[in-house]
C-alpha cells in the first residue's frame, strides 16, 4: 500500500453511499483507499438503520463505528444518522415508499443540515462531497456549501451512458413511447450496438411513474451538475464508452474497488451474518463447486426458488447457494422443496449469506451462477471464476451483455423464467464442458487487465491521481 505523503494537500471528503449492500461495499473500500494512501480525511455518513443491521449481523463488531478496527493511522470519521423514518419501518419491503422519502420527503433537509454542520465544524475543512450518483440532490447540496461534488457510480460505465442518454432512447422510440422499437440501439455515443432487451429493467417497465423511476430520472439530471464522476470500472474494459463520456464530463474510471488485502475483514459491511463455507469447500476437489448467489436485492417467486432448487439437485453438481432472507418477499416456512437439504446433503450447502470474496477465491469453486450485480461481476473476474448468468432486474441485463457478449467470460442460464430442466442442463454443461475452456482463457486475460489497472502507472491508479490533482487546484 502506498504511504500517505506528508507534503501533499490534505482533502476532507464526506462520503455518502446509498444504504444498499452493493453501494455500501465499494464506498467503504474507496474510503479506506483514500484515507490509507492519498492523504484524505474521510467523514463516512450512513444511516442508523443500516448501522444497526450491520452490527446485528456481526456482533463481534458491535461498536458505534464500523471503521473502529481499521482506524490506526487513518482519519476516518463515521456518522450513522437518523434518516427521519422510524427504525422499524420496513425499508426493504416498502422500497418505493423509502425511495419516495429520499426523493421528495425529508431526506434532503436532513442531509442539508448534517452537511452544513460538518462543513462549519470540521477540521480539516471539508472540500469534497463523494456521493452516490442515485441521490437526486447531490450536486445541489455540494453547490450550496461551495464543495466539489464527485458523483460515485457503482455500476459499469455502459449503464451510466445509457441512463445519461435516456432522451435519445426516447427520441428514437426505444423508451417511453406507444410503439417501442425492437431493433438494436446504435446511436448512443460510445456504444456500438445494444439490443433493447439488454437495457436496464427500469426502462422496460410499463409504469414509469414510480418513485424509483423518478429518482433515477432526476439523478441523471442532477449528475449533469456534478464536477466529477468516479466510476467503479476500468478504462480498458469499457474504453469506447468511457472515451465518449469523457467528451461530456470529467469521468474517472478508478476500479475495481476492493478492500486492500491488508485491511481485509477489518471493516465489516455485511447486512446479514456470514456463514462459514470454507471448511466444507476444503473437502471438495478443485473447480468442482458451483457458487450460487443473486445478491442482496433480487426477489423471486416461491416457484422460481423451487425450480432453481430442482435444477441444482438434478445437475449432480456440488454447490453453495446463498438464499438470502426475503429472497421471496412473502416467504412461507417451506421455501425449499420438502427434504431438499437431506437430498443434497454433502453435495450442497444452503446459507443465508457468506463471505463472497472468501468463497470465490477458494480453489474448489469452478463457476458462479450469478444475477450479474456489478460488484459480483467484478469479484468473479478478479478471482477468475466464469459466470453462469441469470439477471433479475435493474443494471443486471446490460451487465450480463458485457459478461456474455462482449467479454465472453460467462454464458446465459436461460431466457426468461427459470425452469428446472433447462437449469439442470445448463449447469451440467457449464461445469463439465466449459471447464478449462474459452471462458477461463478470457477471464484470465481480464484478470490481468484489472490487476494492471491498479498497479502504479496503471489506468485506474493514474485516474485516481488525476482526480486528486483536480481537487488540488
Q: Could you say which of 19, 136, 190, 295 contacts ligand UDP (CB under 6 A)?
A: 295
Q: Could you say which of 12, 17, 25, 344 contacts ligand UDP (CB under 6 A)?
A: 25
Q: Could you say which of 374, 382, 397, 407 contacts ligand UDP (CB under 6 A)?
A: 374
460 interacts with ligand UDP by CB under 6 A = no
379 interacts with ligand UDP by CB under 6 A = yes
Of 151 and 270, CB closest to ligand UDP? 270
Q: Could you say which of 22, 311, 348, 367 contacts ligand UDP (CB under 6 A)?
A: 22
Site string for ligand UDP, 139-168 (x = CB under 6 A): ------------------------------
Distance CA 414, CA 394 (A): 18
293 interacts with ligand UDP by CB under 6 A = yes
Q: Could you say which of 43, 211, 259, 375 contacts ligand UDP (CB under 6 A)?
A: 375
Contact range with ligand UDP by CB under 6 A, out of 186-194, 374-382, 437-445, 459-467: 374-382
Contact range with ligand UDP by CB under 6 A, out of 7-15, 30-38, 369-377, 434-442: 369-377
Least distance between ligand UDP and beta carbon 349 (Å): 12
Chain center to CA of 279 = 27
Least distance between ligand UDP and beta carbon 378 (Å): 8
Using alpha carbons, select from 353, 360, 355, 354 the residue that is nearest to residue 377: 360
322 interacts with ligand UDP by CB under 6 A = yes
Least distance between ligand UDP and beta carbon 255 (Å): 12
What pairing do the DSSP bridges indicate for beta strands 318-322 and 348-351?
A: parallel
* Cross-strand pairs, 77: 43
- In degrees, rounded to 5, the angle at the alpha carbon of residue 463 between the alpha carbons of residues 459 and 468 is 155
- In degrees, rounded to 5, the angle at the alpha carbon of residue 138 between the alpha carbons of residues 136 and 142 is 155
Chain center to CA of 269 = 13
Distance CA 473, CA 468 (A): 9
133 interacts with ligand UDP by CB under 6 A = no
Distance CA 454, CA 234 (A): 9
Strand, helix or coil for residue 128: strand
- Residue whose entry in the numeric block shows the C-alpha cell 442508523: 48
Least distance between ligand UDP and beta carbon 351 (Å): 7
Of 221 and 276, CB closest to ligand UDP? 276
Contact range with ligand UDP by CB under 6 A, out of 104-112, 248-256, 351-359, 409-417: 351-359
* Class of residue 415 by CB neighbours under 10 A (exposed 0-12, middle 13-18, buried 19+): exposed
Longest dimension (CA), the chain: 65
Within 10 angstroms of residue 402's Cβ, the number of other Cβ atoms is 23
Of 106 and 325, CB closest to ligand UDP? 325
Distance CA 289, CA 280 (A): 11
Site string for ligand UDP, 253-292 (x = CB under 6 A): -----------------x----------------------
Within 10 angstroms of residue 424's Cβ, the number of other Cβ atoms is 19
Residues that bind ligand UDP (CB under 6 A): 21-22, 25, 270, 293, 295-297, 322, 353-357, 373-376, 379
Amino acid at each position: 500500500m502506498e504511504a500517505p505523503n506528508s507534503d501533499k494537500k490534505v482533502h476532507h471528503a464526506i462520503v455518502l453511499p446509498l444504504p444498499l449492500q452493493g453501494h455500501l461495499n465499494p464506498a467503504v473500500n474507496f474510503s479506506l483507499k483514500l484515507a490509507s494512501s492519498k492523504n484524505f480525511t474521510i467523514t463516512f455518513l450512513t444511516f442508523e438503520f443500516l448501522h444497526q443491521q450491520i452490527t446485528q449481523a456481526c456482533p463481534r463488531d458491535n461498536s458505534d463505528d464500523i471503521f473502529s478496527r481499521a482506524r490506526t493511522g487513518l482519519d476516518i470519521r463515521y456518522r450513522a444518522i437518523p434518516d427521519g423514518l422510524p427504525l422499524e419501518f420496513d425499508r426493504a419491503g416498502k422500497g418505493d415508499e423509502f425511495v419516495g422519502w429520499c426523493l421528495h420527503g425529508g431526506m434532503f433537509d436532513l442531509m442539508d443540515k448534517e452537511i452544513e454542520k460538518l462543513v462549519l465544524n470540521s477540521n480539516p475543512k471539508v472540500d469534497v462531497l463523494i456521493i452516490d450518483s442515485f441521490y437526486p440532490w447531490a450536486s445541489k447540496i455540494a453547490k450550496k456549501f461551495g464543495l466539489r461534488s464527485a458523483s460515485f457510480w457503482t455500476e459499469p460505465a455502459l449503464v451510466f451512458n445509457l441512463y445519461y442518454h435516456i432522451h435519445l432512447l426516447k427520441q428514437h422510440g426505444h423508451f417511453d413511447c406507444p410503439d417501442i422499437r425492437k431493433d438494436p440501439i446504435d446511436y448512443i455515443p460510445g456504444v456500438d450496438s445494444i439490443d433493447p432487451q439488454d437495457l436496464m429493467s427500469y426502462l422496460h417497465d410499463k409504469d414509469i411513474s414510480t418513485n424509483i423511476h423518478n429518482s433515477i430520472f432526476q439523478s441523471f439530471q442532477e449528475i449533469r451538475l456534478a464536477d466529477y464522476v468516479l466510476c467503479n470500472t476500468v478504462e480498458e474494459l469499457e474504453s469506447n464508452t468511457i472515451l465518449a463520456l469523457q467528451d461530456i464530463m470529467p469521468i474517472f474510471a478508478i476500479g475495481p474497488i476492493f478492500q486492500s488485502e491488508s485491511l481485509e475483514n477489518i471493516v465489516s459491511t455485511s447486512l446479514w451474518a456470514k456463514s462459514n463455507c470454507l471448511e466444507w469447500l476444503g473437502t471438495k476437489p478443485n473447480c468442482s463447486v458451483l457458487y450460487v448467489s443473486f445478491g442482496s436485492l433480487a426477489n423471486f417467486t416461491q416457484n422460481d426458488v423451487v425450480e432453481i432448487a430442482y435444477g441444482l439437485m438434478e445437475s449432480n453438481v456440488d454447490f453453495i447457494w446463498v438464499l438470502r432472507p426475503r429472497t421471496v418477499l412473502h416467504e412461507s416456512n417451506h421455501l425449499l422443496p420438502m427434504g431438499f437439504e437431506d437430498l443434497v446433503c454433502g453435495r450442497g450447502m444452503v446459507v443465508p449469506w457468506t463471505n463472497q470474496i472468501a468463497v470465490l477465491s477458494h480453489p474448489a469453486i469452478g463457476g458462479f451462477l450469478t444475477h450479474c450485480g456489478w460488484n459480483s461481476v467484478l469479484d468473479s473476474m478478479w478471482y477468475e471464476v466464469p459466470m453462469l448468468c441469470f439477471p433479475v432486474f435493474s443494471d443486471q441485463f446490460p451487465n450480463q451483455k458485457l459478461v456474455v457478449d462482449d467479454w465472453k467470460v460467462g454464458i446465459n442460464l436461460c431466457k426468461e423464467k427459470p425452469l428446472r430442466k433447462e437449469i439442470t442442463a445448463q449447469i451440467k454443461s457449464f461445469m463439465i464442458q466449459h471447464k478449462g475452456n474459452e471462458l477461463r482463457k478470457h477471464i484470465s486475460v481480464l484478470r490481468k487487465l484489472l490487476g494492471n489497472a491498479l498497479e502504479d502507472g496503471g489506468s485506474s491508479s493514474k485516474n485516481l491521481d488525476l482526480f486528486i490533482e483536480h481537487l488540488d487546484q
